[in-house]
Structure 1
Amino acid sequence: MTPRTENNSSWELDQLHRDEITVAMNWVVRTCQEIVRDYSHKVFWVPAGTPTGTAPTTAHLINSARTDVLNKLQRQVSGAEAIISYAEEERAKRKR
């Protein structure tokens, strides 16, 4: 997050929030693209380390789902949510 100064105008803070939210969402989209590129075949998820012609075990699927997809997405989504929440809090403070 960019540090705020007390003398920022309302417009400047709104612009700063828009920029921060846009950057955060771009990272969410990039992460989705990386996951699709690295862990899919014809838009279907392919768990990493699955030997060709074999079915992965349930334990392997669980581990791969978390490692390859869910953890990466959760980090980016959590970061974006934090930025959006902070912007909402600042906007609410200004409206009081």
Structure 2
Amino acid sequence: MTTPPTSGRNDGWEMDQLHRDEITVAMNWVIRTCQQIVHDRSHKTFWTPADTSEGTPSPEQLMQTAREDVLDKLQRIIEGAQFVMKYIEHERAKRKQ
């Protein structure tokens, strides 16, 4: 996280702007990750599993590929965005005390 400015009359406004910026950056990472997954792993917006050119994949292979291609990447990014939100909520709650 970046350190907010500490001087001046507009500290509250500056902190709000910092929080808006951090939320926007976190959400942009979520969107970009989704776009990259769609770009890399889809055809006409349908999931195209990697390494399934050797016939019909088993359900186990599909689950592993789904996790590697999509779910694990999204989960990491979403967890990061959730961390940013919780951090901001914590900081804002401290400021109100």
TM-score over 0.5 (shorter chain): yes
What stretches of structure 1 of length at least 5 have no aligned partner?
A: none
**CA RMSD in angstroms, aligned pairs only:** 1.6
Residue 40 (1) aligns with residue 42 (2): yes
Instruction: Return the alpha-carbon distance in structure 1 between the equivalents of residues 83 and 6 of structure 2.
Output: 21
The TM-score normalised by the length of structure 1 is 0.90
Q: Residue 72 in 1 paired to residue 91 in 2?
A: no
Residue 12 of structure 2 is aligned to residue 10 of structure 1: yes
Q: Percent identity?
A: 58
**In the TM superposition, what whole-angstrom CA distance separates every residue of 1:59-94 from its partner, at most 9, and x where no partner exists?**
211111111101110111011100011111111111
User: What are the equivalent positions in structure 2 for 1:23-38 lying under 5 Å apart?
Assistant: 23-38=25-40
> Match for 2:45: what amino acid?
V
Secondary structure of residue in 2 paired with 1:91 = helix
Rounded Cα–Cα distance in structure 2 between residues aligned with 1:61 and 1:87: 37
How far, CA to CA, are the matches of 1:57 and 1:38 in structure 2? 22
Offset at residue 18 of structure 1 (A): 0.5
Contact 2:19 2:88 in 1 (8 A): yes
